[in-house]
Structure 1
């Protein structure tokens, strides 16, 4: 009898967490209360308070699960070297997982102001992201597939952390009406791989550089040209790609002119004439 009660209690607690996660993701943390959770589940507030003291107790419990999985995801595979293709796919999976806890990123400022525990833990996640980026880059450097000074490496990895941390917020800004639709938002989430790997592009060498070119071509095909074609004969590229175009003889004046005329599509994008990148 006692075992059954414990099992029932555990099941109820898990149900509360699952329902709370859905509400937090769909409505946002400021709009969710313990009352709305209890009403939505059809349980008494007393039963909810038996398991959780308040909303932030629920959020802290959800964060524990999020943190455990992030620790696993922010670890390089053992037994074989990291490749650029693996990194590309892994970033896509990481973006999807983060989207499943998207309220943590969309409401980050409000959450950190109300919970010192979350502030400390979230900072640790950010530090883990940078360590993960440094580890990947370190392996590429070790195998001669990247060239960068320590200062450049630190700057690149910091930029990667900023993009991966705020990519969900950027996508919400771009696709607010469809943000809770997994199928409609997935392709946009996967765009993080393109932008993050492009940060490394000017420093890639050998096989990694070839892999980057192949991945970009495959990405362009899979998205049917949408991230690249603007309808006016121009092609938006990341700043990293623009730098590569310049190295290959591209026209700096055309890039500056595009920026001056406001023809930017998004954060870290510039317009470059197609002829300037067909090298």
Structure 2
């Protein structure tokens, strides 16, 4: 691992542990036992580190979504695994979501990128929902306004569950990921057909 990669890894660790607003490039350099000048050779500002970490998050989610979209024979477990993996990825970059408003306000590039992602993600979720209907996981004839609402609900939970966990639930990693995976999965329950609802209860609730 090169110096640049070590800086990114340590920055992610420190931001996750202590928060975006409390960690400076000097803190990161000290933890790595390198000079601030050495760090600034690779990253002029802390915002440059944040932008790369945010891009890493997006790439990981793109890969996950692409795998889900390519799967033409989706089953209920695929939806659960996708939701679980999403929570794992978000937890790995949890400082972004806990400090979301500050980051968006302080780094215009990330704000613009996030706004664009929101639009593209809606299209991707529509595609996934259609596939779930095609494979008789979701019910047929779900009204479009309900699908629109579901997509927005997913975004709201996905963007805010880490803050809720830190403030209210205070679960450690494994329990947090499991709990909020089920919380998001429960959104899908009314859309499952009767057979899939029974399967969901047997596999994930009981």
TM-score, structure 1 length as denominator? 0.67
Instruction: Give the CA deviation at 1:164.
Output: 1.8
**Higher RCO (Cα < 8 Å, 6 or more apart):** 2
Structure 1 SS opposite 2:21: helix
Give the match for residue 211 of structure 1.
196
Task: Give the CA RMSD over aligned residues.
Answer: 2.0
**Residue in structure 2 matched with residue 146 of structure 1 by the alignment:** 139
Structure 2 partner of 1:159: 153
Tell me: CA distance 1:135–1:77, structure 2 relative to 1, closer, same or farther (3 Å): closer
- 5+ residue gaps, structure 2, are none
Counting matched residue pairs gives: 203
Partner Cα distance (2:71, 2:192) in 1: 23
> How far does the alpha carbon of each residue in 1:61-88 deviate from its partner, in whole angstroms, 9 at most, with x for none?
2222222111111222425222222111
* Alpha-carbon distance in structure 2 between the residues aligned to 1:195 and 1:48: 40
Name the residue aligned to 2:22: 31
Secondary structure of the residue aligned to 1:197 is helix
1:29 counterpart SS class: coil
- Residue number in structure 1 paired with 2:187: 199
Gap regions ≥5 residues in structure 1: 1-9, 179-183, 222-279
Go from structure 1 to structure 2 and tell me whether the alpha carbon gap of 1:79 and 1:73 turns closer, same or farther (over 3 Å shift): closer
C-alpha deviations, 1:105-160, integer Å up to 9, x for none? Answer: 10000001100111112223333443332222112333454131111111112112
TM alignment of 1:222-241, pairs within 5 A: none
Task: Give yes or no for contact 1:95–1:189 (8 Å, CA) kept in 2.
Answer: yes
**Partners of 1:84 and 1:212 within 8 A in 2:** no
* Structure with more helix by fraction: 2
